[in-house]
Amino acid sequence: MTDPIADLLTRIRNAYLARHQTIVLPYSKLKENLVKVLIKNNYLQGYQKTGIKPKLNLSLDLKYNRRQPAITEIIRYSKPGVRHYSSVFGLNKLIKRRGSAILSTSSGLMTAKEAKKLKLGGEIICFVK
């Protein structure tokens, strides 16, 4: 697999379309941090690490609001072949969009609004609506 983040986002998108309550996927620290950002912004309910050390998994609890998925659209923006970066001054365009942009900064993963408060730029990972 060349892009584990795109795999995570696709699994979340497909699980919402199939109306699943939970999904299980392979563990990585980057995926865990991305899931923490999604939970903090009320897009997911929670997560657990399952399995034993060499083969850990993430179990995600999906969130629904009155039978409607909390995430209606989730798009991978920066890809392994073409990376997209934004400076602090370019974050205004990301903040004005509907939904949240998630960035990878020198201080970890965070939304564009948080990055602007901390005056950080970084790689644009994905957009979530």
What pLDDT is recorded for position 1?
Answer: 75
What pLDDT is recorded for position 20?
Answer: 97
Q: Mean pLDDT over residues 12-23, rounded?
A: 97
pLDDT in tens, 50-78: 999 899 999 999 999 999 999 999 999 99
pLDDT in tens, 42-52: 999 999 999 99
What pLDDT is recorded for position 18?
Answer: 97
- Determine what percent of the chain is predicted with pLDDT higher than 90: 93
Q: Which residue has the tokens 């996927």?
A: 25
Q: Does domain 4-69 have CATH number 3.20.20.140?
A: no
pTM over 0.85: yes
Provide the CATH number for the domain formed by 74-128 in this structure.
3.30.1490.10
Where exactly are the structural domains of the chain? 4-69, 74-128
